[in-house]
Amino acid sequence: MLTLILDTTLNGLTLALAKGDEIVARYTTAAPRSATTMHPHLVLLLEEVDAAASDISKVVLTVGPGSFTGIRLGIAVADALQLVRPDVEIVGTGTLGVMGLWGYGMMGKEITTWGNAFGGQVFVGRFGADGAPLGKVACMPLAEAEATLHDGDVLVAGMGIITNARVDVWVDVLPPEAILDAARLYPLPPLPLYIKDLGYRKVGEA
């Protein structure tokens, strides 16, 4: 059976299929993703390993924080597969946690991760020397995030953030191996992790 690995929370797209811990097919692009572009690439990946959607028994996906539309897209794909096949297991993991594990794997140090929250804000996460989360992910103004950095901090940031801080690793797409590792170590329910106040108003509110 196959595991579908999915990230749509960044601007681009990560799609992969795994058997156990082995990635057997993958597609990543930094180009803007959408439902119409994702489906044909998933079909091609399944054809590459001579499989069908019914062979997917598990979905591992990032649940945010990140693009509001992207978060919903990824969860909708997982829910659709589970609707067709109710025994499909869905496991979420945090986007910044994936970035933190990936950065730790390259640097071997404590990692600060920034995700683009737009409107002059960033999502901020911090991860220890073992890759474990240090506290909760937060959303704050970019200037505040810059002020909390210390000399020697390793910074992993999502593309599109305009900052004067020294960024050690820029991220445009997430490697499926890191998504799989993060979901195994730090699983989350397959529910949207928005963090940012979306500023919605109910009908009748001023």
Average pLDDT of the chain to the nearest whole number:
89
When pLDDT is cut at 50, 70 and 90, the band that residue 205 belongs to is very low
- Determine the pLDDT at residue 105: 64
Condensed to tens digits (0 to 9), the pLDDT of residues 112-124 reads 999 999 889 999 9
- Determine the pLDDT at residue 35: 79
Residues 28, 124, single domain; the answer is no
Residues 120, 132, single domain; the answer is yes
Residues 34, 113, single domain; the answer is no
The domain that holds 77 is classified in CATH as: 3.30.420.40
Supply the pTM of this predicted model: 0.91
| SS3 state of residue 45 | helix
Residues 80, 102, single domain; the answer is no
- Provide the domain limits for residue 164: 96-171
Q: Are 3 and 49 in contact (CB under 8 A)?
A: no
Could you tell me which of 58, 81, 61 has the C-alpha nearest to residue 3? 58
When pLDDT is cut at 50, 70 and 90, the band that residue 200 belongs to is very low
Number of domains in the chain: 2
Residues 77, 167, single domain; the answer is no
Residues 79, 177, single domain; the answer is yes
Mean pLDDT of 157-166: 91
151 in a domain, yes or no? Answer: yes
206 in a domain, yes or no? Answer: no
Q: Are 74 and 62 in contact (CB under 8 A)?
A: yes
- Determine the pLDDT at residue 107: 67
